[in-house]
C-alpha cells in the first residue's frame, strides 16, 4: 500500500485563541501581533500502518514561511505554510497558557509521550550533532520542567532503552534548504501519543552560539509537544532569535499536562 502524503493545513492558533479571549496581554500581546498567521511550515505523511508523521521546519534568517514552503515543494515535498492547530482546538483554553501553545493533532489539544511504566515520561535525547550545537545545555533547560524528564545522552552512550523514549538529534550541512532546523514526530493512529521523534539541525546557516542554542532549544520544545510561542522571550518563537531558553509559559503549559 502506498504511503499517502497529505498536508495538515489548519487554522490560526493565535487568531482563534484571541477570539476566545485566551491571547497574551500586555507587552507579549505586541509580540503575538507580529507573528505571521502562516508562521508554521509543516508537512504531514499518513503512513500505511495508520500512523501519522508530521515535520515542522524552522525558517532560516531572511526566509519567510511562505518562501520556505515553496523551496520544500520545489524539492518534491508536499509542504505548505500554515498554523498547526485546528480552530476548534485553538479556542480551548487547554491549548495555550499565556504566550505558549501546544502542538496539537486533529484528535487532541496535546499529544503525549507515554509513561511506559515510569512515574513520568522519560525522553533520552541522543546527541549526534556537532560540537557547535549546544544540545546538552538545551536539554538541561528543558529538564527544569516537572512531569517529563529530558535526559542528555551522547551518541556513543546511546539510549537507555525502556522506559525511556529515544529521540536522536543530528546536525549536518544540509545546504541552502531554507530551514535551520526541523523536527519530525510520528503519532499513533489515534493521534494521541507520540511513537517516535527525530530532530535535524542545519550547519549551512552557521550563526552565533546564542542563535544555535536558540535553534536547538526550539526544536527540542517541539519534541516535548509545544508549538510556537508568540513571544520573543521564548526560544519557541517562530523565527530564529538569540533567545536561548523557554519562557515560564512554556514550562507551565507542559506542567499542565504532565
pLDDT tens per residue, range 6-61: 333 333 333 333 333 333 333 343 344 455 545 789 988 889 999 999 999 999 99
Does residue 86 surpass a pLDDT of 60? Answer: no
Residue 20 C-alpha cell reads as 476566545
Residue found under cell 497574551: 24
pLDDT for 17: 35
Listed in sequence order, the residues at least 6 apart from 42 whose beta carbon sits closer than 8 Å to its beta carbon are 7, 8, 54, 55, 56, 57, 79, 80, 82, 84
| 180 close to 43: Cβ distance less than 8 angstroms | no
Alpha-carbon distance 13 to 83, whole Å? Answer: 7
What does the block give as the cell for 248?
515560564
Looking at residue 83, its pLDDT comes to: 57
Boundaries of every domain in the chain: 4-255
Q: pLDDT (tens digit, 9 = 90+) per residue, 163-218?
A: 999 999 999 999 999 999 999 999 999 999 999 999 999 999 999 999 999 999 99
What pLDDT sits at residue 36? Answer: 54
Query: In this predicted model, what pLDDT tens digit does every residue of 98-157 receive, in sequence order?
Result: 999 999 998 999 999 999 999 999 999 999 999 999 999 999 999 999 999 999 999 999
Res 258: pLDDT: 93
The DSSP secondary structure of the chain, one letter per residue, reads: -PPEEE---B--HHHHHHHTT-S--THHHHHHHHS-TT--EEEEEE-TTS-EEEEEEEEPTT--HHHHHHHHHHTT---EE-BSS-HHHHTSGGGEETTEEB---SS-SSPBPP-TTSSS-EEEEEEES-TTS-HHHHHHHHTTSSSSEEEEEETTT----TTSEEEEEEEE---S-SEEEEEEEEE-TTSSBEEEEEEEEEGGG---HHHHHHHHHHHHHHHHTB---SSTTSTTSSS--S--S--HHHHHHHHTT-
Torsion, Cα of 57, 191, 135, 205 (10° steps): -10
Inform me whether the pLDDT recorded for 220 exceeds 50: yes
CA 30/CA 155 separation, integer angstroms: 41
CB-based contacts of 205: which residues, under 8 Å, 6+ apart? Answer: 60, 61, 180
pLDDT at 35: 55
How far is CA 206 from its chain centroid?
20
Please tell me the predicted confidence (pLDDT) of residue 58: 96
> What pLDDT score does 78 carry?
79
Task: Give the pLDDT band (50/70/90) at residue 80.
Answer: confident
Per-residue model confidence (pLDDT) at position 97 = 95
In sequence order, the β-bridge partners of residue 57 are 41, 182
Q: 237: exposed, middle or buried (C-beta count within 10 Å: 0-12, 13-18, 19+)?
A: buried
Whether 90 and 13 have beta carbons less than 8 Å apart is answered as: yes
Among 103, 60, 69, 66, CA closest to 241 = 60
The whole-number pLDDT of residue 33 equals 43
Amino acid at each position: 500500500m502506498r504511503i499517502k502524503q497529505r498536508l495538515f493545513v489548519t487554522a490560526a492558533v493565535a487568531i482563534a485563541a484571541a477570539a476566545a479571549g485566551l491571547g497574551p496581554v500586555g507587552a507579549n500581546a505586541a509580540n503575538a501581533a507580529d507573528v505571521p498567521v502562516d508562521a508554521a511550515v509543516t508537512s504531514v505523511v499518513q503512513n500505511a500502518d495508520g500512523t501519522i508523521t508530521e515535520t515542522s521546519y524552522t525558517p532560516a534568517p531572511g526566509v519567510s514561511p511562505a518562501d520556505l514552503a515553496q523551496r520544500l515543494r520545489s524539492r518534491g515535498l508536499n509542504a505548505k505554510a500554515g498554523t498547526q492547530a485546528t480552530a476548534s482546538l485553538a479556542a480551548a483554553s487547554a491549548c495555550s497558557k499565556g504566550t505558549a501553545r501546544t502542538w496539537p493533532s486533529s484528535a487532541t489539544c496535546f499529544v503525549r509521550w507515554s509513561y511506559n511504566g515510569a512515574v513520568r515520561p522519560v525522553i533520552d535525547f541522543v546527541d549526534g550533532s556537532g560540537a557547535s550545537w549546544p544540545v546538552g545545555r538545551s536539554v538541561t533547560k528543558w529538564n527544569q520542567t516537572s512531569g517529563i524528564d529530558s535526559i542528555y545522552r551522547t551518541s556513543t552512550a546511546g539510549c537507555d532503552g525502556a522506559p525511556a523514549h529515544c529521540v536522536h538529534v543530528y546536525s549536518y550541512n544540509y545546504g541552502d534548504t531554507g530551514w535551520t532546523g526541523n523536527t519530525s514526530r510520528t503519532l499513533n493512529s489515534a493521534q494521541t501519543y507520540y511513537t517516535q521523534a527525530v530532530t535535524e539541525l542545519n550547519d549551512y546557516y552557521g550563526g552565533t552560539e546564542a542563535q544555535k542554542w536558540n535553534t536547538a532549544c526550539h526544536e527540542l520544545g517541539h519534541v516535548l509537544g509545544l508549538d510556537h510561542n508568540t513571544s520573543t522571550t521564548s526560544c519557541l518563537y517562530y523565527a530564529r532569535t538569540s533567545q536561548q531558553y523557554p519562557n515560564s509559559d512554556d514550562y507551565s503549559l507542559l506542567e499542565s499536562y504532565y
